[in-house]
Homo-oligomer: A and B are copies of this chain.
Amino acid sequence: MNNFIYNIPVKVYFGENQLEHLGPEVKNYGSKVLLTYGGGSIKKIGLYDNVMHELKQMGVEVFEFGGIEPNPRIESVNAAIALCKEKGIEVILAVGGGSTIDASKVIGAGVYYDGDAWDLVTRKAPIKNALPLLTILTLSATGSEMDAGGVITKLSTNEKYGIGHESMLPKVSFLDPTVTYSVNAYQTACGSADIISHILELYFNTTEDLRMLDYMMEGLLRTVIDYAPVALKEPTNYEARANLMWASSWAINGFLNGGKRQAWSVHPMEHELSAFYDITHGLGLAQLTPRFLRYCLNDQTVARYVRFGVEVFGIDKTLEPMEIAERSIQSLETFFFETLGLQKTFTEIGIDRTHFKAMADKACRGKEIKGFITLKPEDVEKIFEMCL
In the complex, are the beta carbons of A215 and B222 less than 8 A apart?
yes
Give the number of copies in the complex: 2
Please indicate the chain B residues that have their CB under 8 angstroms from the CB of A216 in the complex. Answer: 216, 219
A223 at the interface (CB under 8 A from B): yes
| Structural contact, A13 and B8, CB atoms closer than 8 A | no
Asked if A218 is an interface residue, CB under 8 A from chain B, the answer is: yes
Tell me, yes or no, whether A11 is within 8 Å of chain B by CB.
yes
Q: Is the CB of A14 within 8 A of B5?
A: yes
A247 CB within 8 Å of chain B: yes
Q: Is the CB of B220 within 8 A of A215?
A: yes
Contact of A246 among B2, B9, B13, B210 (CB under 8 A): B210
Pick from B14, B227, B243, B258: contact of A4, CB under 8 Å: B14
Q: Which residues of B contact A250 (CB under 8 A)?
A: 212
Interface footprint category on A = 35 or more
A6 at the binding interface (Cβ < 8 Å): yes
Partner of A12, one of B7, B211, B219: B7
Chain B residue nearest to A247 (CB atoms) is B212
Cβ < 8 Å to B, chain A residues 214-248? 215-216, 218-220, 222-223, 226-227, 238-239, 242-243, 246-247
Distance A7 CA – B243 CA, assembled complex (angstroms): 18
Asked whether A1 is an interface residue with its Cβ less than 8 Å from the other chain, the reply is yes
B219 touches A215 (CB 8 A): yes
Pick from B4, B8, B16, B223: contact of A3, CB under 8 Å: B16
Please tell me if A259 contacts chain B, counting CB pairs below 8 Å: yes
Does A18 reach chain B (CB closer than 8 Å)? yes
Give the complex CA separation of A259 and B212 in angstroms.
Answer: 23
List A317-371 residues whose CB lies under 8 Å from chain B.
Answer: none
The answer, among B4, B14, B16, B215, for a CB contact under 8 Å with A15, is: B4
Query: Is there contact, CB below 8 Å, between B5 and A243?
Result: no
Complex-state Cα separation, A13 to B210, whole angstroms: 15
Q: Which of A1-37 contact B (CB under 8 A)?
A: 1-9, 11-18
**In the docked arrangement, what's the CA distance between A12 and B220, Å?**
22
Contact A5 B1 (CB under 8 A): no
Q: Shortest beta-carbon distance, A261 to chain B, in Å?
A: 13
Partner of A7, one of B11, B15, B226, B258: B11
Nearest B residue to A212 via CB reads B223
**6 further A-B pairs in the complex, CB-CB below 8 A; given A3-B17, A216-B219:** A3-B16, A4-B14, A6-B12, A9-B11, A212-B246, A216-B216
Complex A-B: 26 CB contacts under 8 Å: A1-B15, A1-B238, A2-B15, A3-B13, A3-B15, A3-B17, A4-B14, A4-B15, A5-B11, A5-B12, A5-B14, A6-B11, A7-B12, A8-B8, A9-B11, A210-B243, A210-B246, A211-B226, A211-B227, A211-B239, A211-B243, A212-B243, A212-B250, A215-B220, A216-B219, A218-B219
